[in-house]
């Protein structure tokens, strides 16, 4: 298949903002990785690792080029680390003759489930075209097979659907040309956290961020590879404290500004390819958060010019949220105006209090941005009124929302972040909410991030560290080398889509622990900067450890599998 993408420009895209985005340099970096091991997975009672445990196959990876495989052969390659890139390999035939094509199914696994469950019978409400398998037919060998599509994976399952009785095939020179905006030579602070789990959480955060940093900050490189505002804010924050690629953030901000709608609101997400275009998805809180992204960027980069250029967009992006305010009480009322309010996917979440807090948080950021730019802060009056109005949500020492006085982490986190209450009041309300058995918990890492951000704002360092170790640490213990789109410690097959095989296991909105660990928490956890280290070296250490971990389990695994069989 030859991808000849026909480029067409689109009406309604602001050409001056688009030009700034296009002219902000971002080169996709490329490097190669090879598979490290031929493995299989054996069942385990431990739910935390998908109920599976890797075991070495009978074959060493160095034997791969000399192994031959015929109809029905099935093996898994482990590259040792999550990657985003393009697969190629040399397919060779042996035997009498290649007198028929070779039909292969290649399944790209971010998780062990991808390469063990098969891709049949998946019922999800999002597209099954996202499933990471390809069936290819090869007429002649030897042939270098280079797949044109990009995949996100650590494991590659190879199924030889058929050859013929006269020939088998061999695989050699298997490699992934990895891509990211961040090269292997890119250097970041090397930090000793004096705690292996925190060390791992920091590394997995950075790997997640790096693999999502492509031509834009992608939502997830496996699926839904678009630029979303909610994810972008979190990625940009983590980026400022780690990889510090300011240009990529700038590109993305201007892309959003370029596709702003007629009423000045900003779409929740955009498509940067095959041509820059807004998605029809719209989220009131994402729209408003665009202002914070610009503010964060100006603070982190010192690029005041961008602040000036985008000032009109910053002002317009909160208008639809502001339309939700009761003109008398200045309280955010979810049904007063239109547009989806997100905050989190938690079921039954009442979004009044959280949205109020979020909007107030955004308006304060705009006022701060105005000060940086030497402008008059535009929202001082409304900020005062909203802060005053916010007291309606504080009842009996906790934050409540809606007619049922619902307690939720979402309300608590955003009202803390709104800075509408004295710190001690805010801290007590947040802690009380988190201890309350009826409080609606976050479903997504996205909201868990804001819970952490709120905890730090009220100096709850230990609580924040505990949360990070439990939640993100839980994924690490379950085998993550990038953080997931969703995580349920009790159910390794949990999915918001109805089937875990459509989940993304490297997802932008879960990449922020490094932001906290390298920021406010660095001294609290006793971490210290020990120097600088290249990304390639960090990756290499991770591969070495992940392979070592498998190797040490290998003999047990093989023995147990044989016993099971």
Residue 272 near residue 343, CB atoms below 8 Å: no
Under rule CB under 8 A, residue 134 binds a copy of itself:
yes
Minimum distance of a copy of itself from residue 130's CB (angstroms): 6
Under rule CB under 8 A, residue 8 binds a copy of itself:
yes
Instruction: Rank residues 144 and 328 by Cβ distance to a copy of itself and give the closer one.
Output: 144
Transcribe 38-106 into DSSP letters. Answer: EEEEEE-S-GGGTTEEEEE-SS-GGGGGG--B-TT-EEEEEEEEEEEEEEEEEEEEEES---S-EEEEE
Under rule CB under 8 A, residue 4 binds a copy of itself:
yes
What tokens were used for 435? 């201890």
Under rule CB under 8 A, residue 215 binds a copy of itself:
no
Instruction: Rank residues 10 and 395 by Cβ distance to a copy of itself and give the closer one.
Output: 10
Minimum distance of a copy of itself from residue 165's CB (angstroms): 8
Q: Is 448 helix (H, G, I), strand (E, B) or coil?
A: helix
Under rule CB under 8 A, residue 13 binds a copy of itself:
no
Under rule CB under 8 A, residue 73 binds a copy of itself:
no
What tokens were used for 281? 């998805």
Under rule CB under 8 A, residue 74 binds a copy of itself:
no
Minimum distance of a copy of itself from residue 521's CB (angstroms): 36
Instruction: Rank residues 126 and 197 by Cβ distance to a copy of itself and give the closer one.
Output: 126
CA atoms in the 13 A half-sphere facing the CB of 318: 28
Q: Is 271 helix (H, G, I), strand (E, B) or coil?
A: strand
Q: Tell me 283's DSSP state.
A: B
Minimum distance of a copy of itself from residue 513's CB (angstroms): 29
Minimum distance of a copy of itself from residue 214's CB (angstroms): 13
Number of chain positions touching a copy of itself (CB under 8 A): 54
Each residue 156-175 as x (binds a copy of itself by CB under 8 A) or -, in order, gives -----xxxxxx---------
Instruction: Rank residues 83 and 434 by Cβ distance to a copy of itself and give the closer one.
Output: 83
What tokens were used for 187? 């250097």
Long-range contacts of 518-523 (CB under 8 A, 24+ apart): 518/189, 518/191, 518/202, 518/241, 518/242, 519/241, 520/456, 520/461, 521/456, 521/461, 521/464, 521/465, 521/468, 522/191
Instruction: Rank residues 140 and 381 by Cβ distance to a copy of itself and give the closer one.
Output: 140
Minimum distance of a copy of itself from residue 136's CB (angstroms): 6
Under rule CB under 8 A, residue 3 binds a copy of itself:
yes
Each residue 101-120 as x (binds a copy of itself by CB under 8 A) or -, in order, gives xxx-----------------
Each residue 270-289 as x (binds a copy of itself by CB under 8 A) or -, in order, gives -x-xx--x-xx---------
Q: Tell me 317's DSSP state.
A: T
The binder of a copy of itself chosen from 10, 30, 149, 466 (CB under 8 A): 149
Phi, psi (rounded to 5 degrees) for 261: -85, 175
Characterise 331 by phi-psi region: left (phi > 0), alpha (psi -120 to 50), beta (else): beta
Instruction: Rank residues 101 and 377 by Cβ distance to a copy of itself and give the closer one.
Output: 101
Distance (Å) of CA 108 to CA 158, 258, 444: 9, 35, 24
CA distance 361 to 358: 5
Minimum distance of a copy of itself from residue 35's CB (angstroms): 19
Q: Which residues bind a copy of itself (CB under 8 A)?
A: 1-6, 8, 71, 90, 96-97, 99-103, 125-131, 134-149, 161-166, 223-224, 226, 271, 273-274, 277, 279-280
């Amino acid at each position: 298949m030859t991808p000849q993408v026909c480029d067409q420009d689109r009406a309604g895209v602001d050409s001056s903002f688009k030009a700034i985005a296009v002219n902000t340099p971002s080169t996709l970096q490329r490097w190669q990785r090879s598979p490290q091991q031929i493995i299989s997975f054996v069942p385990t009672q431990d739910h935390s690792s998908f109920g599976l445990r890797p075991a070495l196959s009978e074959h060493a990876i160095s034997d791969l080029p000399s192994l031959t495989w015929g109809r029905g052969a099935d093996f898994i390659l482990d590259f040792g680390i999550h990657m985003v890139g393009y697969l190629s390999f040399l397919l060779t035939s042996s035997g009498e003759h290649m007198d028929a094509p070779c039909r292969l199914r290649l399944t790209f696994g971010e998780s062990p489930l991808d390469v063990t469950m098969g891709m049949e019978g998946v019922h999800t409400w999002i597209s099954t075209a996202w499933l990471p398998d390809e069936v290819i037919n090869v007429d002649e060998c030897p042939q270098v097979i280079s797949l044109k599509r990009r995949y996100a994976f650590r494991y590659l399952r190879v199924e030889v659907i058929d050859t013929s009785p006269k020939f088998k095939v061999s695989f050699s020179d298997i490699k992934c040309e990895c891509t990211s905006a961040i090269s292997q030579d890119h250097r970041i602070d090397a930090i000793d956290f004096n705690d292996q789990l925190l060390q791992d959480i920091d590394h997995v955060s950075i790997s997640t961020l790096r693999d999502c940093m492509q031509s834009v900050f992608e939502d997830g490189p496996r699926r839904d590879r678009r630029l979303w505002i909610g994810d972008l804010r979190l990625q940009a924050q983590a980026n400022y404290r780690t990889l510090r690629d300011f240009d990529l953030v700038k590109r993305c901000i201007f892309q959003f500004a370029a596709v702003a709608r007629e009423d000045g609101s900003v779409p929740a997400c955009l498509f940067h390819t095959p041509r820059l275009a807004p998605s029809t998805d719209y989220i009131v809180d994402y729209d408003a958060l665009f202002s914070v992204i610009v503010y964060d960027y100006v603070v982190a980069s010192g690029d005041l010019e961008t602040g000036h250029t985008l000032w009109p967009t910053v002002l317009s992006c909160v208008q639809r949220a502001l339309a939700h305010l009761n003109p008398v009480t200045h309280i955010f009322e979810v049904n007063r105006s239109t547009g989806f309010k997100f905050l989190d996917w938690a079921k039954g979440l009442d979004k009044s209090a959280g949205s109020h807090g979020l909007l107030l948080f955004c308006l304060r950021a705009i006022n701060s941005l105005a000060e940086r730019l030497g402008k008059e802060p535009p929202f001082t009056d409304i900020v005062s009124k909203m802060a005053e109005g916010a007291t309606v949500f504080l009842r009996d020492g906790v934050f409540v929302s809606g007619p049922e006085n619902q307690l939720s982490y979402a309300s608590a986190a955003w009202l803390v972040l709104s800075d509408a209450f004295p710190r001690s009041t805010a801290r007590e309300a947040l802690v009380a909410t988190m201890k309350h058995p009826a409080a609606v918990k976050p479903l997504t890492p996205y909201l868990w991030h804001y819970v952490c951000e709120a905890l730090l704002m009220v100096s709850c360092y230990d609580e924040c560290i505990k949360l990070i170790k439990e939640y993100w640490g839980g994924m690490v213990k379950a085998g993550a080398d990038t953080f997931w789109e969703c995580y349920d410690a009790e159910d390794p097959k949990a999915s918001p889509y109805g089937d875990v095989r459509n989940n993304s296991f490297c997802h932008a909105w879960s990449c922020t622990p490094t932001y906290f660990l390298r920021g406010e928490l660095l001294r609290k956890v006793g971490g210290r900067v020990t120097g600088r280290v290249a990304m390639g070296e960090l990756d290499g250490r991770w591969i070495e450890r992940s392979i070592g971990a498998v190797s040490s389990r290998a003999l047990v695994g093989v023995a147990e599998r044989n016993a099971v069989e």
